[in-house]
Every structure is written in structure tokens, then in C-alpha cells.
Amino acid sequence: MSVRAELQELVEKMNTNPEHIASEKDRIFQINLEESGPLQIIINAGQVQVAEGTSPDAEVTLILNEKNFSKLLNDKLNTTMAFMTGGLKVEGKLGLALKLQEIVKHYQ
């Protein structure tokens, strides 16, 4: 399964059962995948959508390869270790990168 298909599967779970994102502020998480380019995870009014490309409104950008992004989506990435070893780069608010991991954990 491609990482984008994994992401879409996660988004469907989140939108079907939005209790863990209902109280979230509207946010855009920018994900720059080294192999296949940028995408956005957009949380708006308790729903999630994925968009291609970049957004000037993103508060955080995660830069990583598809293997590590797949691990993140499946709650199998030690983000601290990945950050320390260069497998994950974060631009912007580091706390929001951790928030994304926390949200994902609720759906695994």
C-alpha cells in the first residue's frame, strides 16, 4: 500500500470518528515527502482532508521520507530519535509535530 493510500485510510478513520480532533484548532500540517513531494493534512471544523502541494498557512512542516512517514502514520516512528538522527526535519512549531503524532496515536 502506498503511503498516500495509508494516509487516506487514516483520514477516513478520523472523519468517521472525529472525537479526537473535534476540539482541535483549525490547522495545516505541511508534509514534504522526499520521494513524492509535498502534501497537506488540513484539520478544519473537526474534519480532516488531504491536499497536494504547499500552503503558506502551515504552522509546521515535516520533512521526511515515505518510509518514515508510513511509520508515523502507523504510530511506529520514534519521532524524537528520528529528529535527532536527521530522519525527520521540522520547520516551524516543533510542538505541532508532536501534536500530529498524538492525534495519529488515537487512531491506531
Q: pLDDT tens digit string along 55-65?
A: 999 999 999 99
Q: pLDDT tens digit string along 38-54?
A: 999 999 999 999 999 99
Per DSSP, which regions of the chain are E strands?
Answer: 27-33, 37-44, 47-52, 60-64, 88-92
Cell of 89: 526535519
DSSP code of residue 78: -
Cell of 54: 504547499
Q: pLDDT tens digit string along 5-32?
A: 999 999 999 999 999 999 889 999 999 9
pLDDT (0 to 100) of residue 94: 87
Q: Which CATH number fits domain 3-102: 3.40.50.2000, 3.90.226.10, 3.30.1050.10, 3.40.630.40?
A: 3.30.1050.10
pLDDT (0 to 100) of residue 19: 93
